Structure 1
Amino acid sequence: MVGRAYGAGPGWVIEARGELDQDTLAPLEDALASAAGSHPLVVLDAGAITFGDSSFLNMLLRLHRTTTLRIAAPAEQLVRLFQLTGADTVLAIHPDVRDALGTPA
């Protein structure tokens, strides 16, 4: 599910929450693709995502090729998914949105 989307500092932040799989991914994918078309930096606030499957991961990797994508505050399940697949060496993962935007505390 897609939550708030807003401009912040140099980028565009999109909040997502809940379980993201092939059946629920389309609204988030549309929001991220739209943001990528208008903003050079897109931050996915993943703090409220409780589950992501391989279709979610593939969508992130595809989007990563089209814009500067940063993932903020992923829960442990997502961190494990990124580590097990090696996506953590490709995707920019940050502890929080502020860090992902590169803005000072």
Structure 2
Amino acid sequence: MRRSTIFLIHTAVLGTGLVLMIAIHPRLNLPSREMIVKNNAMLVQKLDITDLCLFTEVRYTRHLSQADLFSAFQESPLALEHYPSGSMTRPPAWMTPGQGTGEGQ
């Protein structure tokens, strides 16, 4: 048997195994996931947590409601964004011209 045929068979078997794991594993793990979600919901309610931590990179993207205005520009106002999460979030509506203040609408 040629080496390329062995490689293709090996790749097909591993690919099939990967697809089966992706399809079966979430169903096998469902009861424990439901328990984790219930425990997390109870913890959020007990601790009265209000803000969702979307990104873990820098403090001004962790909790957008608690970021100060100048923390993103600590290096300088013209500094490039170091972290990709800063480019994935919008500024608050009150900082955008014509948004939240009734201007330009």
Q: Which has the higher contact order (CA 8 A, sep 6+)?
A: 1
TM score, norm. by length of structure 1:
0.23
Kindly indicate which of the two structures has a greater share of residues assigned to strand. 1
Larger Rg: 2
TM score, norm. by length of structure 2:
0.23
Kindly indicate which of the two structures has a greater share of residues assigned to helix. 2
